[in-house]
Amino acid sequence: SREYQLCPSILSADFNRLGEQIQMLERAGVKWLHIDVMDGDFVPSISFGMPVIKSIRKESSMFFDVHLMVTEPGRYIQDFVECGADSITVHTEACEDLERTIQMIRDSGVRVGVSIKPATPVHDISHFLEDVDMVLIMTVNPGFGGQKYMEETTEKIQELRELIEEEELSVDIQVDGGINRETLPTVLRAGANLVVAGSYVFNGDILQNVKEATSTIKR
Ligand code: DX5
Ligand code: ZN
């Protein structure tokens, strides 16, 4: 039985009210919190890092799903574990030695995710499927919230789901970018089971948005 979760991305939160908004998610039954770390090198933008994660960790018992959009993320695995990550996802495009980086995350005791950008084929990570808990298929180019879903990524989700079924593995498929009420059914049908949503959750009435998204995901 596959676990289906909505993973709100705090990149779209109002940082002046971050604690309050996270509490709201928790009360609405959200289990996974998606945390986007950007270094201004792997992606053009800079978001936030350890101090923010450490602060919200004190107030939340949600599962902290940390998405590292960072060049050579191996340099920081220990730091993110110490500040409260439950899962760490790294980009294959950002790692000189992906196998070694995966092993570092594994050894640190948290869950392991690998991610591919829209232009990177599934093939680039297919030989690591036995070593990871999750593959994150980016459905926009990483770097900013609020972008449009790239339709050409749907078939990558399908391809990965077929591969996982064929090999009888229990790897989760997460999608991230441009998820809204129109694109959510598409990614679920294609085989995603962990769905990141930033602007969809945080623009407008958070509670209402979570209810709507969750009812589609856990149908
Ligand atoms: C993009 C980030 C996403 C972003 C998604 O680089 O990885 O997690 O917050 O935002 P939306 O859902 O608004 O596309
Ligand atoms: Zn993300």
What domains are defined for the chain?
5-217 (3.20.20.70)
Segments in the chain below pLDDT 70: none
Q: What is the pLDDT of residue 108?
A: 98
Per-residue model confidence as pLDDT tens digits over 64-76: 999 999 999 999 9
Q: Token pair of 67, please?
A: 């998405």
pTM over 0.95: yes
- Locate 63 and state its tokens: 């599962």
Ion ligand 2 residues within 5 Å by Cβ: 36, 67, 176
User: How many residues does the structure list for the chain?
Assistant: 219
Binding site as annotated, residues for substrate: 9, 67, 143-146, 176-178, 198-199
CB of 113 shorter than 6 A to ligand 1: no
Q: 36 catalytic, yes or no?
A: yes
Residue 1 is predicted with a pLDDT of 73
Nearest-CA residue for ligand 1 atom 4 is 145
Q: Which ligand is nearest to the CA of 140?
A: 1
Q: Is 67 in the pocket of ligand 1 (CB under 6 A)?
A: yes
* Cα 78 to ligand 1 centre (Å): 24
pLDDT at 167: 97
3-state secondary structure (DSSP) of residue 195: strand
Whether ipTM exceeds 0.85: yes
Q: Per the residue annotation, which of 36, 39, 65, 172 is the catalytic one?
A: 36
Measured on CA atoms in the order 155, 196, 193, 92, is the torsion positive or negative? positive
Beta 194-197 vs 5-8: how paired, if at all? parallel
Q: Which helix (H) or strand (E) holds 163?
A: helix 154-166
